[in-house]
Homo-oligomer: A and B are copies of this chain.
Amino acid sequence: MPPAPGDREARRDDVSRAVWQVLADKGFGGLTLRAVAAAMGVSTGMLMHYFPTKRALIAHALDLLEKRTAERPRRDRPADGLATVRAMLLDILPLTEGDTARNRIWVSSWDLALADDGLATDQADRYTRLRSTLRPHFEAARGLGEVPAAADPEQLAATAVAFTHGLVVQALFDPGRFPEDVQIAMVDDFLASITPSRPARR
């Protein structure tokens, strides 16, 4: 029997929580109606009122990932230049349990996205936006002399995103090797390495 409209509204949050839990445990590869139903202690039949197809379940999961990423708490942006870049990179890393779950789900989504032209374009656009968000702060850093005058802020943003996402993956697989303080020190060393006052080598 389908749930009454009021119940249905009330249950939406429960469903999202269960979807998130399944994603955090098993990734998109383990996201099935059956797994979500089991996490909620309901029948798959009940869940089909929310997600008539696997595709609808995946679409909801991706929306939830976007939404939770957009709504996550963030550090203050302390000032122009590299201090703000630092805050933005730290906001990406898996430093807390919640950050770890979100990152684990993002990494999992790459398999799905690489197999689907539309999702791959969405992910490429997401990277373009992320670089665009960092770029003005690298421009400001250049104005402040925090990065070399000849540096290209767009390339610095691409390098910073590369370093940060690669650190995310290593830290997810080996949290003992990459605890919070090690991740933060690596970001600080990375930012220190792009500061200038040395002869160009190339």
Contacts and interface: CB of A to CB of B under 8 A. Distances in A.
Measured as residues with beta carbon below 8 angstroms from the partner, the interface class of chain A is 35 or more
* Copies of this polypeptide in the complex: 2
Task: Tell me whether chain A's interface is mostly helix, strand or loop, or mixed.
Answer: helix
A161 B166 contact: yes
A113 B173 contact: yes
Interface of A: 25-30, 104, 107-108, 110-115, 120, 123-124, 127-128, 155, 158-159, 161-170, 172-174, 177-178, 185-186, 188-190, 192-202
24 contacts: A25-B115, A27-B115, A28-B29, A29-B29, A29-B115, A104-B114, A107-B110, A108-B111, A108-B114, A110-B110, A110-B169, A111-B112, A113-B173, A114-B172, A120-B173, A124-B173, A124-B174, A128-B177, A162-B164, A162-B169, A164-B166, A166-B168, A195-B201, A197-B199
